[in-house]
């Protein structure tokens, strides 16, 4: 998920059970802290590895 936030990085979100996964390039609205942001679904190869 690419969101319009610095620094430029991708975020991971789970899709609700029973909901089809959105296609890469789709615009979606997601909760982010106390806000709801519009982002773009990134293709799997563009997703950053999880932070440990």
In the chain, domain spans: 1-52
Q: What is the pLDDT of residue 36?
A: 94
Query: 10 is written with which tokens?
Result: 């991708």
Which residue in the block uniquely carries the two structure tokens 């390039």?
A: 25
Q: What is the pLDDT of residue 47?
A: 62
pTM: 0.66
- pLDDT bin (cut points 50, 70, 90) of residue 45 is confident
Q: What is the pLDDT of residue 3?
A: 81
C-alpha to C-alpha distances, 33 to 15, 20, 30, 36, nearest whole angstrom: 17, 24, 10, 8
Distance CA 8, CA 4 (A): 8
Query: 33 is written with which tokens?
Result: 């802290």
Instruction: Convert the pLDDT of each residue in 1-44 to its tens digit.
Output: 788 777 777 788 888 899 998 999 999 999 989 999 998 998 87
Q: Is residue 39 within 8 Å of residue 2, measured between CB atoms? A: yes
């Amino acid at each position: 998920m690419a969101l319009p936030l610095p620094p430029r990085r991708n975020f991971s979100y789970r899709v609700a059970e029973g909901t089809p996964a959105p296609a890469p390039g789709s615009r979606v609205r997601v909760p982010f802290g106390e806000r709801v942001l519009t982002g773009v679904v990134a293709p799997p190869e563009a997703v950053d590895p999880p932070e440990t």
